[in-house]
Structure 1
Amino acid sequence: MNGISGGKVGWVGYADPCTDNYLLCEHSDVGGGIYSGYQLLDWLAIEGGYDNFSGPSADYFAIGDSTQLVHYESEIQGFELGLKADLALTENLILFGKGGAFFWETEKKANEPFFGSIDERDNGQSLMLGTGIDYRLGEHWSVRLEYQFFDNVGDINTGGTDVHFVGLGIDYRFSWSEETTVTGLIPLAVVSEPEAIEAKNETKVVSPLTVVVRFVTNSDELSIDFQESLHAVIERLQDHPQSKVIISGYTDNVGRAEDNQMLSEKRAEMVASVIMMQTGIELNRITVKGFGEMEPVSSNDTKEGRAENRRVVIISPKVMINTRSEVLGK
């Protein structure tokens, strides 16, 4: 399970916050907030937080005395809660949109010469909409540039105004699962232990063999190192004509799911073609499958996790042979 915590600061704009008889009206200020959330899916999160958007200020003639000026100050603060949907543009750049509610409290203060101190408050809730981009700095840290719109904040006592916020945020992503954290470089190919042949009465047991091949983003090209990782597979197929292989392709979740499905199939087919060219085995000894971005072995929220998920897995099941080279089962 993955979570996020962060903070933001930026420009706040208020739409027509002052009544018609003002002498001076400030339509913008500086605001910010803190937020935290929980990743429901790879592309969907729930986020909530506290915002303080300062507030508009204005100068008016004093009530009952047009020779004196009175300065009014206001403050807007509250809690927002909503859903945030992500669309990966590149491995590190994420476009997002979000929507939800803003539970606000507004306050207006002034000191009128004839009426004394004025302190009026309102509270309520408003629609919140937003969009922006996230840039992943690493496994845990991200920066975001976002725009948010808050509809008609305020009420009869303090006056209502739409609020616009443009801010820069920085957040920290963390996980509290029991999965092992990847701390080192991921090898291009991982090969299981060499096959073992065990003698049992008149039966030889050829142990299963697994090879995992890694790929870079949006690529189905094989490196020279990949050829070395195939030696065990090729020797097994040549030495044991009854052995078979299952080749399964996978991707990370960057890009469209349909494109990832096609890419996973293409990667698996590429590996299968190399094996066939080097062994000349029959087609019925190879099974090729593509699973797209399904069945990830690590989190797609990190660069290292996405590298783990860009893979082709080659599995050759266990084979049992009698001493006369007759296949008893597999």
Structure 2
Amino acid sequence: MKLKSTLGLAIGSLLAASSFGVFAQGQGAVETEVFAKRYFTDSVRNMEDGNLFGGSIGYFLTDDVSLNLSYGEYHDIRSNEGTNKNVKGSLSSLDAVYHFGTPGKGLRPYLSAGMGHQSISNLSPRTGRDHTTFANIGAGLKYYITENFFAKASVDGVHGFDNHQSEWMTGVGLGLNFGGNYSKPAPVVEPAPVVYEPEPVEPETVRVELDVKFDFDKAQVKQDSYNDIANLAEFMKQFPQTATTVEGHTDSTGNAAYNQKLSERRAGAVREVLVNQYGVEAERVNAVGYGEERPVADNATREGRAINRRVEAAVEAQVQ
């Protein structure tokens, strides 16, 4: 494979990846890279130092651990055996990489280890190709210019099992990370304090209502609903004698039995936010689903269906 083809494939991968509408990080992400390295050869092999150009592709097994496959071709290496021949060849490697820091954020140092296979020709006085299996170790630093585009600097050491020689390389690279499922921690919402002023003589009934909307066929609580849920939780903490029932609903699209289960999941998702994120006692929050049975808008229109995909709750308390 020619260097032009190798770089073309790697650059093409970067351009194709950049066309994705949504990028992600962490486990399941794919990482592509093009690199250039300075290859410092062992003097016993009578070769001048040269360059290695190529590309790599990796897959993140976890948020921090990736498995990377790389291929590069040597350039500007000459034999010092009197023939001054241009040494040609390639290096293929498979490495496990452990990253430190937060995916897609600022600087991420890393350590790597793996195996490589080198194939070179024109190395006097031998004829044909010289094949060597390497053990690889490395360290480096990635800097994420954006959440998914990064620059990299690296130092790699290799030791040949066949020739018992140790060599090393330094390099730089550019890469793109996309397609994973890393979820950023939800921002901490600081709800505004709710102040209630009671009537001087007669007790007053105060009430907080919750109306959380959902996307079609989804049961995930959207980020813009967290403030409303936080206000309800704060109210219940101010009045510890209160309890509530979280009621899930759907529009009429699809099978009624499926919609019943979907409404229960939606109610459960809001209950989980109240209990697990905002600290309301679990025994004070019940969750039920009513499926498509209780519409509040016309299911014949898109706007009406959007209104019916909801979770409702209400809490009342008596104050002096």
TM-score, with structure 1 as normaliser:
0.50
Out of 73, 77, 85, which is 1:52 matched to? 73
| 2:40 counterpart of 1:13 | yes
Shift of 1:153: 7.7
Q: Distance in 1 between matches of 2:95 and 2:33?
A: 15
Secondary structure of the residue that 2:160 maps to in structure 1?
strand
8 Å contact from structure 1 (residues 80, 100) kept in 2: yes
Q: Give the conservation status (yes or no) of the 8 Å contact 1:126–1:152.
A: yes
Once the two structures are TM-superposed, the CA of residue 11 in structure 1 deviates from its matched residue by 1.5
Measure the CA separation in 1 of the matches of 2:231 and 2:278. 15
Distance 1:313-1:106 versus aligned 2 partners, 3 A rule:
farther
How do 1:93-242 and structure 2 match up within 5 A?
93-108=107-122, 119-152=127-160, 161-175=165-179, 189=189, 194-195=209-210, 230-238=230-238, 241-242=241-242
CA contact (8 A) 1:190 1:212 kept: no
CA contact (8 A) 2:79 2:123 kept: no
How far, CA to CA, are the matches of 1:211 and 1:98 in structure 2?
38
CA shift, 1:58, in A, is 3.5
Letter in 1 for 2:66: A
Amino acid at match of 1:243: A
1 or 2, which has the higher strand percentage? 1
**What SS is found at the alignment partner of 2:210?**
coil
Counterpart among 67, 74, 78 of residue 87 in structure 2: 74
| Structure 1 pair 188–31 and aligned structure 2 pair: CA distance change class (3 A) | same
Q: Which runs of 5+ in 1 are unaligned?
A: 20-24, 62-69, 113-117, 197-209, 214-225, 245-286, 290-311, 326-330
Kept in 2: contact 1:105–1:154 (CA 8 A): no
* C-alpha displacement of 1:78: 2.4
> CA offsets per residue over residues 141-198 of structure 1, 9 Å max, x none?
111111111113875xxxx753311111111111066x9x99xxx876399x9437xx
How far is 1:136 from its partner? 1.3
Please name the residue that 2:52 is paired with.
31
Instruction: Find the residue that maps to 2:100 and give its secondary structure.
Output: strand
Aligned residue pairs, count: 202
Distance verdict in 2 for CA 1:120–1:154, change over 3 Å:
farther
SS of residue paired to 1:241:
coil
Amino acid at match of 2:91: G
Give me the CA root mean square deviation.
4.2
Which AA in structure 2 matches 1:95? P
- In structure 2, what is the Cα distance between the partners aligned to 1:172 and 1:124? 30
Following TM superposition, by how much is the alpha carbon of 1:17 offset from its aligned partner in structure 2, in angstroms?
A: 4.3
Letter in 2 for 1:11: R
Matched with 1:317 is 285
**8 Å CA contact 1:104, 1:123 repeated in 2:** yes
- State the Cα distance separating 1:34 from its structure 2 match: 0.5
Counterpart residue identity of residue 47, structure 1: N
AA aligned to 1:72 is: K
Whether the aligned pair in 1 keeps the contact of 2:210 and 2:229 (CA below 8 Å) is no
- Aligned residues of 2:51 and 2:77 also touching (Cα < 8 A): no
CA distance in 2 between partners of 1:175 and 1:29 (Å): 35
Determine helix, strand or coil for the equivalent of 2:233. Answer: helix
Aligned to 1:201: none
Measure, in 2, the Cα distance between the counterparts of 1:99 and 1:187.
36
1:210-254 Cα shifts (integer Å, max 9, x gaps): 9989xxxxxxxxxxxx8x98543233344561439xxxxxxxxxx
Shift of 1:73: 2.6
Judging by fraction of residues, say which structure has more helix.
Answer: 2
Q: Which residue identity does 2:40 align to in structure 1?
A: G
Instruction: Determine the C-alpha separation between the residues in 2 that align with 1:153 and 1:76.
Output: 18
Superposed displacement of residue 80, structure 1 = 0.1
Query: In the alignment, is the contact (CA less than 8 A) between 1:33 and 1:52 conserved in 2?
Result: yes
SS at structure 2 position matched to 1:233: helix
